[in-house]
């Protein structure tokens, strides 16, 4: 079954180390993250992280537990989650690449297994949430709300 990958990128006028610091400050999510209301756990490979979010269309609270796969400061953060008794899953990634004057941040999620073909509206909703998170990271890293 083919994977579905959804991504969003943004250029940030801050060094990768600064962007990484914002991204990995789980306690700070509550103050600035528009999608993930809170997150807790350790960002080390093999560790579990609990993320609580609100669905944008209904404001319904959703809590997921993910397993950190890669935490390579300041370049890659990746976690994996399983759904439907392991029949479906996803890998969420943040890749930070140094650029002249800052960082290119690419956030993506690859879905695998059963039930991973989504209608356009769902893909667009997920991509919009990635764009909102990326914009908030940009604003934090550039010091607009620090």
Q: Where are the domains of the chain?
A: 4-141
Model pTM score:
0.89
Q: Is 107 exposed, middle or buried (0-12, 13-18, 19+ CB in 10 A)?
A: buried
The listed CATH number (3.40.30.10, 3.30.750.24, 3.40.1520.20, 3.30.530.20) that belongs to domain 4-141: 3.30.530.20
Is the CB of residue 133 less than 8 Å from the CB of residue 107? yes
> Residue 48: which of 27, 76, 21, 69 has the closest Cα?
69
- How confident is the model over 5-36, as pLDDT tens digits? 999 999 999 999 999 999 999 999 999 999 99
- How confident is the model over 62-101, as pLDDT tens digits? 899 999 999 999 999 999 998 755 567 889 999 999 999 8
């Amino acid at each position: 079954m083919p994977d579905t990958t959804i991504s969003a990128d943004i250029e940030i006028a801050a060094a990768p180390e600064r962007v990484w610091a914002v991204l990995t400050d789980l306690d700070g999510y509550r103050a600035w993250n528009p999608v993930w209301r809170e997150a807790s756990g350790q960002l080390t490979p093999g560790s579990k992280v609990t993320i609580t979010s609100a669905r944008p269309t209904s404001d319904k609270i959703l809590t997921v537990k993910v397993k950190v796969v890669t935490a390579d400061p300041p370049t890659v953060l990746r976690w994996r989650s399983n759904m439907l008794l392991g029949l479906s899953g996803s890998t969420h990634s943040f890749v930070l690449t140094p650029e002249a004057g800052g960082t290119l941040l690419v956030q993506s999620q690859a879905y695998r297994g059963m039930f991973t073909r989504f209608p356009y509206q769902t893909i667009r909703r997920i991509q919009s949430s990635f764009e909102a998170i990326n914009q908030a990271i940009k604003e934090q890293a550039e010091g607009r709300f620090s």
